[in-house]
Amino acid sequence: MKLTGFELRRVRMPLVAPFRTSFGTQTGREVLLVRAVAGDAEGWGECVAMGDPLYSSEYAEAVADVLRRFLVPALAAGPPADAAAVAPALHRFKGHRMAKAALETAILDAELRAAGRPLSRELGAVRDRVPCGVSVGIMDSIGELLDAVDGYLAEGYLRIKLKIQPGWDVAPVRAVRERFGDDVLLQVDANTAYTRSDAALLAALDPFDLLLIEQPLDEEDIVGHADLAKRVRTPICLDESITSARAAADAIRLGACAIVNVKPGRVGGYLESRRIHDVCAAHGVPVWCGGMLETGLGRAANVALAALPGFTLPGDTSASGRYFRTDLTEPFVLDGGHLAVPSGPGLGVEPLPEILAEVTTGIEWLPL
């Protein structure tokens, strides 16, 4: 397949409600989409970088810049690249995993569409539907939180994840447990909000029988997580710290985590995500698929990944309506707490032209 170029498309997607975490509050998603074009074939990749460098060092405008100035020209200068060749071809450029992931995914989608193969089968999926959890942001009050959780359970979500930060941790977890009981699958996500000195506070979450505590400490503090894992009974899950299969292997070896959250954008793409899955499976470490408030394009790819055998915990692959009143694609709808894995070629979904046009704020063409 000979690529002719890439379209960078900026879209703005308002959220149905503000989403607050320890690093900020989002009211909308500024999304950079990458469309790979190869003759009659095309493919889509969604970049998960936020508008500001709060979750990671990457942000949408920086992604567009590095694609324009370095990554796409590097692909143009080499032999025709298939998706598997993208990471090696771009290896000399440090970091920028979210940019590389969007580029690789667009090429992979185009290849698979042209060949008539679904992404799920290409990755090694073993299920045609995946169990779904929901991420609940930090609220202004316990009452507001309980109402939100009640609504999500009524919709059928199989697992609740509470965002936490110092001052909003033990009390909301206790309230949710007291209101909804011990049978609800419950976990918390700190997004690096705590320090090593907070070990006793985090241990105070142990009585609530949580599935896991996600990324309590700074992403570079692997040793701190290993020490923390010895002081708390609740399993430690790493998110931001896991940037590659090698990073996952090192964290497991050091005892820094018992569970891994795989976010394809954070690790450089779905092919590296599969390698992380394989490393974790070899060590008996369960994985689950995290979310970055993706549109239907990114959600389709995440659902395909979550259908692999090692993904044994419900992920953040929520229904479209969790975040958007109108999605870019046909909406993903919860069915008995599960989402169906797209069975069409490539991602198995496409943007709806009228919706895409309505939310587009800019288009740029990068020829090869």
Q: Give the C-alpha separation, 212 to 235, whole Å.
A: 5
CA 171, distance to chain mean position in Å, is 27
Dihedral angle over CA of 49, 21, 325, 177, nearest 10: 140
Residues 294 and 275: their CA atoms lie apart, in Å, by 22
d(CA 279, CA 193): 27
3 state DSSP class of 206? helix
Tokens encoding 153: 């359970």
Which H, E and C letters describe 209-254, residue by residue? CCCCEECCCCCCCHHHHHHHHHHCCCCEEECCCCCCHHHHHHHHHH
3-state secondary structure at position 165: strand
What values do phi and psi take at 84, rounded to 5? Answer: -65, -20
Are 48 and 59 spatial neighbours (Cβ–Cβ below 8 Å)? no
By DSSP bridging, strand 41-47 and strand 24-38 are antiparallel
3-state secondary structure of 44: strand
The strand pairing partners of 259, in sequence order, are: 237
HSE (side-chain half, CA atoms, 13 Å) at 262: 36
At 354, which amino acid appears?
A: E
Residues making up the chain, counted from first to last: 368
Catalytic residues: 163, 263
Cβ atoms within 10 Å, residue 153: 15
Place of tokens 């939100």: 148
